[in-house]
Structure 1
Amino acid sequence: MATAVKVDEDAKSRLEELQAEIRLQTGRNVTQQELLTRIIDGAYESRDEVINSFRESTVPLSESEKETMRRGRFRSGVDTDETDVDDVLYG
């Protein structure tokens, strides 16, 4: 059963901003009810933690995910440094 919660305009505006930020960063639309429930239940320490809690994947990777990534690595035999990467990315 849903119950209406009254908040002042400033709190409502901040809630809408967080809701929009979640949509932009995760691609998910969440209701204000979902958002408030997540904040209350989760006791999150930061805004980023609240936003990340709506992501479908978890970060950091699990140990099995890390191992899967390690198995896919190989050495090319070419040494690179930051400037090499910058040249490739930015020309």
Structure 2
Amino acid sequence: MATAVKVDEDAKSRLEELQAEIRLKAGKTVTQQELLSRLIDDAYESRAEVVDSFRESAVPLTDDEKEAMQRGRFSSGTETDEEDIDDILYG
């Protein structure tokens, strides 16, 4: 069952460009439906990246966020260097 999906003109143009490039470089004609299905399959395999691309960036932090992080810091009384951290993380 095919369902219509509305895309803006820029997306439609880029889809057509990609479709033409496949025809030229791969020597195969694919429909836009086939192309979109392939793109969705590929995006599904890397869906964590796709989801992350829609998150609001938390960097750089606001001044309030920086202050909140510093308020939560404390000294354990033990000096730690890079080698200690490597040992803890990587054994």
**TM-score of the pair, normalised by structure 1:** 0.50
Larger CA Rg, structure 1 vs 2? 2
Give the structure with the higher percent helix: 2
| Greater RCO structure (CA 8 Å; 6+ sep) | 1
**TM-score of the pair, normalised by structure 2:** 0.50
